[in-house]
Amino acid sequence: MARRTPRAHYDAIIVGAGFGGLHMLHRLRGLGLTVRLFDAADQVGGTWFWNRYPGARCDFESHDYSYEFDDQLQQDWTWSERYPAQPEILRYLNHVADRFDLRTDIQLRTKVTSAQYADDTESWTVGTEGDDHTETASAQFLIMATGALSLPRLPDFPGIDRFAGRWYHTANWPHESVDFTGKKVAVIGTGSSGVQVIPRIAQQSEYLYVLQRTAGFIVPAHNRPLSLDEDDAIKSDYQAYRDRARESYLGVHFPTEDVSALEATPDEHTAAYEARWQAGGSAILATYPDLPTDVRANDTLADFVRSKIAELVVDDDTAKLLTPQGFPIGSKRLVVDTEYYPTFNRDTVELIDVRADPIEEITETGIRTSNTEYNVDAIVFATGFDALTGPLLNIDIRGTNGRTLTDKWSAGPTTYLGLAIAGFPNLFSIAGPGSPSVLSNVVRSTEQHVEWIAELLQHMREHGYRAIAATPDAEQRWVDDVNDVAAATVLTSANSWYLGANVPGKPRVFMPYAGGVPEYRRICDDIAADNYRGFVLS
């Protein structure tokens, strides 16, 4: 029997020890609040604790994908690579936890299973499970820093339990080293994690089958070590660097051409795109201002990337299968890779089109499709996440009158600013649905949310408020705004996980806010300045 520990009360409970949760804890402690942070992992780090597969790396550059709330931290920490790998990001977050003495208020190996709001006490009761105990704790405020991409979409193929070899999911990789030397391996999925792990496994395995349903747009990272001169140049005026990023659509500063893609000539397109292809990274999406909004403009970039695939992949049939068709570039998350396309030039790598030849089942010896059986020693599932809503709906959250969040979101997520949910007072979500979140540099977005929430709680303390709730009208207006903004872009043109299309039965609703980081920040600041318009404080 699990032992039950006594209930404790805090001013705030935070769920999740990633970028958002750690910063939120630091910020609220600075206000003098009592805080407890729960996380199911063995260490802090959030998604960077769990996603430790070979090749795991951020697709934003190091100096952008880091905190700006403490200038001395910025100056003291030195990144080793242009794009930080998972071990380095995890070291960074552990350094932050130690530097600000956050561990005293963090409870690891503790999964939050439920949260119930009590109208009479205007507080939340949170249920948790640990290795050998269950526990309840209460708090006036509950802050969900659970991350947009933290609930893996587990494979639903029949027969997986009888597979005699080893299988892995990229989002729950073993802590010990996995050796594929001399093995036949299958990787299912070619999203971001699949694209990163496939070249690494190909270098080690005897033979690799890559099972692809939909080809995506992939651009090179051109990752490299960072020199001390580059690091010093940014640190010499880090504030200006951050200011430029703050006023950029993604929360990262990418220079944009002054003309429309439709005004530029084909030769000018090619030159501009080639320069950004050679520089590497997702800045290519910002080459022209109308790429996200005009399909004809978008086609100029999509065709350029398609031409690059034809150049990089030797076998014409394989190149054709790897070439994305039928949706604009950027409508699915653009993947930044290292050596992905050249990997398919290896004699020991085979691409399988599971749209034409679907997976039927996992057998004892491998994978059976409609036409073929592939015998393998190991299977890697790179099948992604139940994004944005999944981590919240995985917890039994009940608001006013006991209504569940699952019931409220049965037709898709509804939030006010992506920060609050009508009917769930004193509950906040960091980088949740209805905010820029996955359409931005998420560290910038989490910091903006953390600061906004902290300033709100300080305002409530100063004015004696106990509870805050988003109004249903304000929430609906925001949902309408999110939909209208997305409809003016190419982002809704693909069956992507932005719409939940990767999860069977999930409502097809475009979830993030597509208006950009600067506009979103201005909206949040205006609402706060107008006495928190759209909220009821009591």
Q: Which residues contact 106 (CB under 8 A, 6 or more apart)?
A: 17, 25, 37, 39, 44, 97
User: For residue range 75-84, what is the model confidence (pLDDT) as tens digits?
Assistant: 999 999 999 9
- Does residue 187 carry a pLDDT above 50? yes
pLDDT, mean of residues 368-376: 97
Using alpha carbons only, how large is the chain's radius of gyration in Å? 23
Query: pLDDT band at residue 4, thresholds of 50, 70 and 90?
Result: very low
Q: Report pLDDT for 114.
A: 98
For residue 441, count other CB atoms closer than 10 A to its CB.
Answer: 22
**CA dist 277 → 29, 33, 336 (Å):** 44, 48, 11
User: For residue range 390-442, what is the model confidence (pLDDT) as tens digits?
Assistant: 999 999 999 999 999 999 999 999 999 999 999 999 999 999 999 999 999 99
pLDDT, mean of residues 329-338: 94
Average confidence score pLDDT of the chain: 96
User: 18, 46 in Cβ contact below 8 A?
Assistant: yes
Can you read off the two tokens belonging to residue 329? Answer: 């570039």
Query: pLDDT band at residue 275, thresholds of 50, 70 and 90?
Result: very high
Q: Report pLDDT for 316.
A: 97
- Does residue 43 carry a pLDDT above 70? yes
Q: Report pLDDT for 154.
A: 83
Q: Which residue has the tokens 């820029």?
A: 436
**CA dist 330 → 221, 462, 493 (Å):** 16, 44, 10
- Three-state DSSP class for 462? helix
- Find the range with the poorest average confidence among 72-76, 178-182, 294-298, 492-496: 492-496
Q: How many residues does the chain have?
A: 538
- Does residue 497 carry a pLDDT above 90? no
* CB crowding 50-87: b at 16 or more within 10 Å, else e: bbbbbbbbbbbbbbbbbbbeeeebbeebebebbbbbbe
Helices (H) and strands (E) in the chain, counts: 16, 20
For residue 199, count other CB atoms closer than 10 A to its CB.
Answer: 21
Query: Counting Cβ atoms within 10 Å, is residue 459 exposed (0-12), middle (13-18) or buried (19+)?
Result: middle
Q: Report pLDDT for 1.
A: 31
User: 209, 350 in Cβ contact below 8 A?
Assistant: yes
Query: pLDDT band at residue 2, thresholds of 50, 70 and 90?
Result: very low
Q: Report pLDDT for 7.
A: 63
Q: Report pLDDT for 111.
A: 97
H or E element in which residue 135 lies: strand 133-144
Query: pLDDT band at residue 338, thresholds of 50, 70 and 90?
Result: confident
Residue 453 CA neighbour count, 13 Å, CB half: 31
User: 473, 455 in Cβ contact below 8 A?
Assistant: no
The three-state (H, E, C) secondary structure of 169-208, written as one string? EHHHCCCCCCCCCCCEEEEECCCHHHHHHHHHHHHHCCEE
